[in-house]
Structure 1
Amino acid sequence: MPGDDFRFTTELTALDTSKLDRTEKRAVEGLYRTKEYLDTELRERLLEVESERDLFRTRVDRLQAERDALRDRLDGLEAERGTVAPDRLVASLGDAFTSARDDLSEADYAIGRIEVDLKANVVGGGDGPQFQLPDLAESVDRETLSTLRFDLRPTTRDDAATYDPIPDVRDRSLDEAREAVRRAGFTVGEVTTEPGDADDVVIDQFPSPRSVAEPGTAVDLTVSERREIDVPAVIGNDLDDAVAALSAAGLSVGEVDAETRDEPADAVVGQTPAAGESVPAGTAVDLTVSVGPASDSDTDAGSADGRDEEGGGAGPDLQAVDGIGPTYADRLRAAGVTDLPTLLDRDPDEVAEITRASTNRVETWFDHAKRLLEGE
């Protein structure tokens, strides 16, 4: 019998076994059984390959659907125009990659490092910085388009990439944040600063606490930095101009009080803190504006509501106190405070609530009112 047995398996059906001895017949029978076994095994392997092919096609279809959904989401963002909050944009991309990562893991693939070059106008808004995306009708330079880079790498079931949750270190000191990041198995990346009320307090982080990443991933931190600003001089300016000047300097406007002064209406006649004083960024500056000179009717009203009407028993009028003009006096009279004794009987916090003035200002009124009564 030739050594190449498999060549004869295709001719077994036409073989005349009458000319073969017993040994040769057994050999032929063995070859036939081998042929049947190989045919059966080949069919089973073919079925397995076809099943794996169908499974892979299903996974490819799912990935294509995810890709189409991602495209639709991006198209929706482009159609919205206007502004998009940074956390919304980042969360949208993160959700898409999370879904793609789960599907790829079933095919023994994983998403590697992700790099995003986002080119968009950054504008201010009531809820903080916003990304302003180009309108669909605009012509856009290719150089201004955003770039998204990521790599796919094969994995095995025994050597799959592991992902850990990013710790939330916001509102912690920088030292505490570094330690928390280290304990979680990550490293601290770039540390940037922004103006704030305190030094070295974490106000933002990337990746965000909602995401997961491979151990050793760098976590970038944004920390607050207390910055001192010289208060600009706004006395003599119109109220709108004063507000604009304070905002441009990085300060805010606090309480705005009105007093009767010879200056034109809405002219700023006082400010606290004073001009030139160094204060932290974002400090509120209280303003006092003029309501214009007192008219004859205001003077008559003050006499009627004060001492003249009572025949001298009530003491000096409310407007005799420095800082209490017609507006504050009217609010006090409406609450039943018609003279200085009645004023001093009230609690300073209650008077501040009635007049909508600061407690410090009210305490100054009380001091002056006491001196006026003691000097009678």
Structure 2
Amino acid sequence: MPGDDFRFTTELTSLDVSKLDRAEAREVEGLYRAKEYLVAELRDRVIDVESDRDLLRMRLDRSQAERDRLRSRLDALESDRGTVAPDRLVASLGDALASARDDLSTVDYAIGRIEVDLKANVVGGSDGPQFQLPDLAESVDREALSTLRFDFRPAVGDAQTATYDPIPDVRGRSLDEAREAIRRAGFAVGDVTTEPGDADDVVTDQFPSPRAVAEPGAAVDLTVSERRAVDVPAVIGHGLGDATAALDAAGLAVGEVDAETRDDPADVVIGQSPPAGESVPAGAAVDLTVSAGPATEEDHANEDGNEDERRADVDAETGETHDVGLRDVDGIGPTYADRLRAVGVDDLPSLLASDPAEVADVTRASRSRVEGWFEQAKRLLEGA
């Protein structure tokens, strides 16, 4: 404290140094000088802090003044924004529509149904609640704007006006439901056309379109889906590209495509399921088997070994030798047989003991094809 410093200085200056030796006198003198240096440094720092405090206080005063100015400006803008009383807004809308109706009457038209979707801020006023209108320069979201919808109708006679009603949306409904909805709306069902689809008698399109308006009793044309049967074309012997094009032209899709080693050129179709001539729904998938090309010498060696395994197929319990094996099943060629043997399915009994879904997954064949293998395997074992 300043008082303490003063007393310390006074006492130090009146100290009788004659009783001190030279070393002690120098030490006291050093302490005094250090004390004077620290006091001077602290005074400088206090001056700096007071200067910073005054500067910050001045900036705070300016910020508060700017805040007050902006607040006053905002209040002025809010007071300048247009407001209108609810009754006056409705009256203005009615006046505008009356004026439009008078203008339209000169060309034998009238205003029909009117729909108003009012969106506005409600603020308090001296005369009660007011609608606050956006400023012309203000950016407003389109969803926040009020909308006014109305239609024009030809005027009939001096006092009558033609009536137009909205067309109901019947897309996605069954044909019977669509007929009933159209009838309830006061319209009639016109032409009904069909197009291929996944289900029968489901409305996929209509004319006039939904939400259009028409006179009561007007016809509404419908387009409905129809599950059409398609005869599977014969594509065996065709290249894979030609077979795909033929199926697409018939309104069918290509299902799973398997490859087997054959003497036929690669990518030539050697099998199809369902077979040619079978009637299937439009859009059904047809599985194809294509040739992987002639077998190599290594393939022949493997095939001979597999054939030996087939002929040596012996029942472990009865010791009876079977003359049939995997390759005797129509459709199980070297590729499918190798995939089955890779998971331990080496003969017909082990095939029948397997789960058809797992066999389809292992061989990458269709489920229908695997089920056909199982049926053939049962018949082969019964006749063995």
> TM-score, normalized by length of structure 2?
0.49
Structure 1 residue 267: Cα displacement: 0.7
Specify which of 317, 322, 327 is matched with residue 335 of structure 2.
327
Shift, 1:234, TM fit? 1.7
Match of 2:148 among 103, 107, 114: 103
Which of 349, 356, 360 does residue 352 from structure 1 map onto? 360
Partner residue in 2 for 1:22: none
1:343 pairs with 2:351 = yes
Contact 2:167 2:209 in 1 (8 A): no
Distance in 1, Cα, partners of 2:203 & 2:348: 50
1:1-376 matches, within 5 Å, as 102-103=147-148, 105=150, 110-111=151-152, 164=166, 166-173=168-175, 175-196=176-197, 199-207=200-208, 211=211, 213=213, 216=216, 218-302=219-303, 308=309, 313=314, 318-373=326-381
Kindly indicate whether the alpha-carbon contact (under 8 Å) linking 1:164 and 1:212 is maintained by their aligned counterparts in 2. yes
1:10-61 residue CA offsets vs partner (Å, 9 max, x unmatched): xxxxxxxxxxxxxxxxxxxxxxxxxxxxxxxxxxxxxx9xx969x96xxx9x
Q: Is the 8 A contact 2:203 2:223 kept in 1?
A: yes
The residue identity in structure 1 corresponding to 2:302 is: A
Contact 1:253 1:287 in 2 (8 A): yes
For residues 189-234 of structure 1, the C-alpha deviation after alignment (integer angstroms, 9 at most, x for no partner) is 342222335554322224555x364673543310234545443332
**Mean alpha-carbon deviation: is it higher for 309-318 or for 218-227?**
309-318
Matching residue's letter, 1:186: F
The one-letter amino acid of 2:352's match is L
Pair 242,168 (structure 1): closer, same or farther in 2 beyond 3 Å: same
Per the alignment, do residues 207 and 274 of structure 1 end up closer, same or farther by CA in structure 2, a change over 3 Å counting? same
What residue identity is the alignment partner of 1:170? Answer: G
Q: SS at 2:222's partner residue?
A: strand
| One-letter amino acid matched to 1:335 | V
Matches of 1:296 and 1:375, distance apart in 2? 34
Note the C-alpha offset of 1:172. 0.3
Quote the offset at 1:373 in angstroms: 4.6
Deviation at 1:345, TM superposition (A): 0.9
Greater CA drift, 276-285 or 245-254:
276-285
Residue 301 (structure 1) shift: 3.0
SS at match of 2:148: helix
The alignment partner of 1:103 has SS state of strand
User: Any idea what SS the aligned residue of 2:192 has?
Assistant: strand
Contact kept in structure 2, 1:307 and 1:317, CA below 8 Å: no
Residues 274 and 341 of structure 1: CA distance in aligned 2, closer, same or farther (over 3 Å): closer
Contact 1:168 1:208 in 2 (8 A): no
Query: 1:75-112, CA deviations, whole angstroms, 9 ceiling, x for partnerless residues?
Result: xxxxxxxxxxxxxxxxxxxxxxxxxx95354xxxx245
- Residue 174 of structure 2: SS of its match in structure 1? coil
Q: What is the distance in 2 between the residues matched to 1:189 and 1:309? A: 67
Q: Which amino acid aligns with 1:326?
A: P
Give the direction of change, closer, same or farther, for the CA distance of 1:368–1:293 in structure 2 (3 Å limit): farther
Q: Distance in 2 between the 1:250 and 1:353 partners?
A: 28
Change (3 A) 1:228 1:350: same
> Secondary structure at 1:224's aligned position in 2?
strand
- Classify 1:227/1:311 alpha carbon distance in 2 versus 1 (closer, same or farther; 3 Å): closer
Which has more radius of gyration?
2
Residue 358 of structure 1 aligns to which amino acid in structure 2?
S
Is the Cα–Cα contact under 8 Å of residues 273 and 369 in structure 2 kept in the other structure?
Answer: no
SS at structure 1 position matched to 2:248: helix
Kindly provide the amino acid, as one letter, of the partner of residue 237 in structure 1. H
CA offsets per residue over residues 177-199 of structure 1, 9 Å max, x none? 21221123333234222233555
State the AA in 2 paired with 1:369. Answer: A
Distance change >3 Å, CA 322–CA 230, structure 1 → 2: closer
Q: Which runs of 5+ in 2 are unaligned?
A: 1-87, 101-145, 156-160, 316-321
* Deviates further, 190-199 or 261-270: 190-199
CA shift at 1:246, angstroms?
Answer: 1.7
